[in-house]
Amino acid sequence: MTLELSLNQQPAHTRQGSSIGQPLTRRDGFLKVTGAARYAADNHPSGMLYAVLAVSSIARGRVAALDVEAAKAHKGVVEVMTPRNRPALAADPDAKDHPFMFRLDLLQNEEVRYPNQTIAVVIAETLEAATEGAALLSPRYEALPARVGLDDAESFVPRGVGVGNPAVQHKGDVEAGLKSAKTRIEATYETPAQYHNAMEPHAIVAAWDGDKLSIDTPSQGLAMAQGRISGLFGIAPQNIHIRSPFLGGGFGSKGMISGPQVLGVLAARLVGRPVKLVLRREQMYGPVGHRAPTRQTLRMGMDGEGRLTAIHHHAKTASSTFDDFFEPAADASHTLYASPAITTSHEAVRLDTGTPLFMRAPGEATGSIALESAIDEAAHACGMDPLEFRLRNYAEVEPMTGKPFSSKALRECYSQAAKAFGWASRPLQPRLMRDADGFLTGWGVGTATFPAIMFQAEARAVLKADGSGLMETGAQDMGQGAWTAFAQIAADGLGLDIDQVDFRAGSSDLPNAGIAGGSGHTATAGMAIHNAGAAVIARLADLATGNEASPLFGADNEGVVARGGRLYRRDDENRSESYAEILTRAGLTEIEGHGKGAPDAASQETYAKHAHGAVFAEVKVDPDFGQIRVTRLVGAFAAGRVINPRLVRSQYYGGMIWGVSFALHEEAITDRRSGRIQNANLAEYHVPVNADVPSVEAILIHEDDPYVNALGIKGVGEIGIIGTAGAVANAVWHATGVRPRRFPIRIEDLLG
């Protein structure tokens, strides 16, 4: 039988459940608040040594000398790993077999390509000894001038942006559209480099046993990490066991195994003992990815009714000098607003930084803050309310491709959020609202879309003679609640109460659950779980309906329903039998089934699949000081089936707060002479504190989508940022009359 079941079909064996949709609290919550949850760096295998990275203080050049003797002479230091003695690898870390194989700095030579690149690893009996050993290396460099800004290097058109989209895309004739327009706007916006800054730094505990490797490390993609390490060390994937039960945040920076993590494995190999390596906060500003800076220019034309006649979205961004990742910022204009002509284009420079990577909503976050600001400028130029303008340009089909949407409840998002926010009483002109304390008050709106992506995943389901179930998939919980949401899907998939299901995840020896990224994990691994459940229930049903002794004998044609640990005859609920009875009679201790989750190629061709949302923001700005406070955020999101409303709301809250961060706080500030980031710590790299987000509301809009997958799941991990950042920027304009063109918006931008 086919494992891909659609909601539209009537399969012979179905499950009914009530776990999906329940606002369960996190199943791992107790472990986390009691400190019992074991994160990677909590592991201490016996005989373990500590490795500390020595990192480059220059941005570009080469290491001329290291005082290895001084480091080695330090008490407790066991070994210093440099390009000279680093164990051989089976593959060149600079090789790039496919676009998603990122080049790693694994001490392949003395060259320095960015600040904080590893130049040696010191391994010692204690963390303190290793730390001091690293300081004693006192490197000497031959330094070259650093290239750090978007104007510091020659620009070019990259071959592809993001996950390989064309750098330039056209629909219609933008120049003609602009020419025919009654009103035109053009504006340029800048976004800074940002760093993921997960609370948990990248960490690894690695232990070799001959050719077998055991690893504890946070990973958003266990199978990919396993594959990469397998390639680098020339050992079979099944000889590598990675445990990643909990991540203290990833946001994309733990999607691929990073250079420092592999260096931990190399260090363990060099000394023949288990090794732990944990990055210091400032060491996370370089080798583990970041969001590249952008400079985006938007040109738009509108007809007499405020309809867009053309959108040109151009983005300049940067990658490292040695690898390719180009923030696809302009692509945000592909999906949001209807226009007969759209051009998106990118150019890039190469800078002396670590390679930028996926960072929560890559492209969408950067692109949408510029697009949403420009849309606001366009609305104002047409004398229209920004929400009305957005509705006037509502995309009934995907603007760039003309494909119908698999579902799109964006109108509902706008109307419900606008109502909850009280948008209707907004004055059109800026700088007209003041609160009782004299603060300039402004309201802004932003629209969000994020593609409903699926990867590939597998799961294994087991039903046991004692009536309980087991579901296994190597899913990754970054804190988003995968342990809980997947257990809910598993419970319904197995027709069991959630407490009767043993759900296992977070380990590479389980079926490949795909990557926890692209907001696609719940859909992808969720579908694998769902289908594995279907497969094992089908087997169970065959056992029952084919056995004369069963009350379900002969029900094959009518079908059975699995619910609460029993199978019921669909047309006669009085006839039923428990899983335990069926298996016991069959003399089986357990049966298993396998399932896959994957995008459906046919519907992919036919439909544009996106989650949508609308965010409204209120800001108050001190008229003398330019100090901005976001006082209210209301978002409404339609993202298909909601597995757990509590977890989904948390994702929206977190995303929306990140949007505030994008608009007002986050920025890596670089010393232009040295190329070094000068605020590489959490005291000075600002994210919002609680006092910065007094009121956040997320409304869940009901949406049934029969095309994305049988469960109807889109994704909620990234969409919260999108729209929010623009809404805040637009609210700042509405409060002050000053249009933010550079992010984050600072006091000095509004001092007047």
Say how far apart CA 71 and CA 57 lie, in whole Å.
18
CB of 280: closest distance to other proteins in angstroms?
A: 9
Helix (H, G, I), strand (E, B) or coil at 68: helix
Q: Which is nearer to other proteins, 321 or 627 (CB)?
A: 627
Whether the upstream peptide bond of residue 744 has omega within 30° of 0, thus cis, is yes
63 binds other proteins (CB under 8 A): no
85 binds other proteins (CB under 8 A): no
CB of 117: closest distance to other proteins in angstroms?
A: 13
678 binds other proteins (CB under 8 A): yes
Q: Which is nearer to other proteins, 450 or 743 (CB)?
A: 743
* Binder of other proteins out of 676, 714, 734, 739 (CB under 8 A): 676
Looking at 22-30, 488-496, 563-571, 675-683, which segment touches other proteins (CB under 8 A)? 675-683
Say how far apart CA 161 and CA 144 lie, in whole Å.
29
Q: Which is nearer to other proteins, 305 or 624 (CB)?
A: 624
Say how far apart CA 394 and CA 396 lie, in whole Å.
6
Q: 627-642: b or e for each residue (b if 16 or more CB lie within 10 Å)?
A: ebebbbbbbbbbbbbb
* Binder of other proteins out of 224, 491, 634, 664 (CB under 8 A): 664
Q: Which residues pair with 461 in a beta bridge?
A: 471, 593
Kindly calculate the radius of gyration of the chain based on its CA atoms and give it in whole angstroms. 27
- Judge whether 398 counts as a catalytic residue: no
Q: 236-249: b or e for each residue (b if 16 or more CB lie within 10 Å)?
A: eeebbbbbbbbbbb
Looking at 204-212, 373-381, 589-597, 624-632, which segment touches other proteins (CB under 8 A)? 624-632
Helix (H, G, I), strand (E, B) or coil at 333: helix
Q: What is the per-residue binding string for other proteins in 692-731, x denoting contact by CB under 8 A? A: x---------------------------------------
220 binds other proteins (CB under 8 A): no
Q: Which is nearer to other proteins, 535 or 660 (CB)?
A: 660
627 binds other proteins (CB under 8 A): yes
Looking at 128-136, 177-185, 649-657, 697-705, which segment touches other proteins (CB under 8 A)? 128-136
* Binder of other proteins out of 108, 321, 604, 679 (CB under 8 A): 679
CB of 149: closest distance to other proteins in angstroms?
A: 13
CA angle 477, 482, 486 (to 5 degrees): 140
Q: Which is nearer to other proteins, 172 or 688 (CB)?
A: 688
Pairing of strands 111-112, 590-597: unpaired
* Binder of other proteins out of 673, 695, 702, 704 (CB under 8 A): 673
* Binder of other proteins out of 305, 396, 605, 748 (CB under 8 A): 748
CA angle 543, 547, 552 (to 5 degrees): 85
| Nearest alpha-carbon partner for 715 in 633, 650, 651 | 651
Say how far apart CA 68 and CA 433 lie, in whole Å.
65
Say how far apart CA 598 and CA 524 lie, in whole Å.
6
Residue count of the chain, please give it.
Answer: 752
For 391, how many CA atoms within 13 A lie in the half-sphere containing its CB? 12
Q: In this structure, what DSSP letter does residue 329 have?
A: G
305 binds other proteins (CB under 8 A): no
Check: CB of residue 306 under 8 Å from CB of residue 384.
yes
* Binder of other proteins out of 11, 12, 21, 57 (CB under 8 A): 57
CA angle 563, 3, 8 (to 5 degrees): 70
132 binds other proteins (CB under 8 A): yes
- Catalytic position from the list 79, 377, 667, 718: 718
* Binder of other proteins out of 84, 140, 672, 702 (CB under 8 A): 672
CB of 350: closest distance to other proteins in angstroms?
A: 22
Q: Which is nearer to other proteins, 646 or 741 (CB)?
A: 741
Q: Which is nearer to other proteins, 32 or 686 (CB)?
A: 686
Check: CB of residue 594 under 8 Å from CB of residue 461.
yes
126 binds other proteins (CB under 8 A): yes
Q: Which is nearer to other proteins, 480 or 674 (CB)?
A: 674
Phi-psi region of 340 (alpha: psi -120 to 50; beta: other; left: phi over 0): alpha
Q: Which is nearer to other proteins, 68 or 664 (CB)?
A: 664
Helices (H), 298-360: none
The site for other proteins, by CB under 8 A, has a size of 40
629 binds other proteins (CB under 8 A): yes
157 binds other proteins (CB under 8 A): no
Say how far apart CA 479 and CA 28 lie, in whole Å.
9
Phi (first) and psi of residue 507, to 5 degrees = -145, 140
Looking at 177-185, 233-241, 611-619, 671-679, which segment touches other proteins (CB under 8 A)? 671-679
Phi-psi region of 710 (alpha: psi -120 to 50; beta: other; left: phi over 0): alpha
Q: Which is nearer to other proteins, 10 or 126 (CB)?
A: 126
689 binds other proteins (CB under 8 A): yes
* Binder of other proteins out of 572, 684, 695, 702 (CB under 8 A): 684
671 binds other proteins (CB under 8 A): yes
312 binds other proteins (CB under 8 A): no
Looking at 175-183, 213-221, 306-314, 681-689, which segment touches other proteins (CB under 8 A)? 681-689
In the range 329-358, which residues lie near other proteins by CB under 8 A?
Answer: none
Check: CB of residue 328 under 8 Å from CB of residue 346.
yes
Tell me the residue type at 81: M
Helix (H, G, I), strand (E, B) or coil at 523: helix
Say how far apart CA 316 and CA 319 lie, in whole Å.
10
Say how far apart CA 708 and CA 512 lie, in whole Å.
21
Just list the catalytic residues: 718
> Can you give the binding site for other proteins, defined by CB under 8 A?
57, 76, 115, 126, 128-129, 131-132, 135, 622, 624-629, 664-665, 669-674, 676, 678-679, 683-684, 686, 688-692, 744, 746-748, 751
